[in-house]
């Protein structure tokens, strides 16, 4: 167990950040799966900008790596273009 006040605060803050990051990452992954399963081109084109924004936000907050974000966005845009 932590002995210092700052260490206790770090434990509390890191736990809340972990839960927030986990929620955001899971929500984005669900949106990506939903976009990949779509077969209607117009709906997919409408959803693509919001999913790309979600991915960008994860990369900006260092929840995922910037290169992974670019790779995901590239793959999703190729998928939407092929519909």
Task: Return d(Cα 75, Cα 24) in angstroms, integer.
Answer: 20
Percentage helix, strand, coil, to 5, in the chain?
A: 85, 0, 15
pLDDT grade, residue 83 (50/70/90)?
Answer: confident
pLDDT at 50 over 80: yes
pLDDT at 1 over 80: no
Q: Work out the percent of the chain whose per-residue pLDDT is above 70.
A: 100
- Residue 55: closest CA among 25, 17, 13: 25
Residue by residue, DSSP assigns 15-50 as HHHHHHHHHHHHHHHHHHHHHHH---HHHHHHHHHH
| 3-27 average pLDDT score | 95
- Give the predicted TM-score (pTM) of the model: 0.85
pLDDT at 74 over 80: yes
Task: Return d(Cα 43, Cα 35) in angstroms, integer.
Answer: 9
pLDDT score of 25: 97
């Amino acid at each position: 167990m932590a002995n210092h006040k700052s260490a206790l605060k770090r434990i509390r803050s890191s736990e809340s950040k972990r839960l927030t990051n986990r929620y955001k990452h899971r929500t984005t992954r669900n949106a990506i799966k939903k976009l990949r399963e779509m077969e209607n081109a117009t709906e997919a084109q409408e959803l693509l900008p919001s999913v790309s924004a979600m991915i960008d936000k994860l990369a900006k907050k260092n929840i995922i790596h910037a290169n992974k974000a670019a790779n995901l966005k590239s793959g999703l845009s190729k998928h939407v273009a092929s519909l």
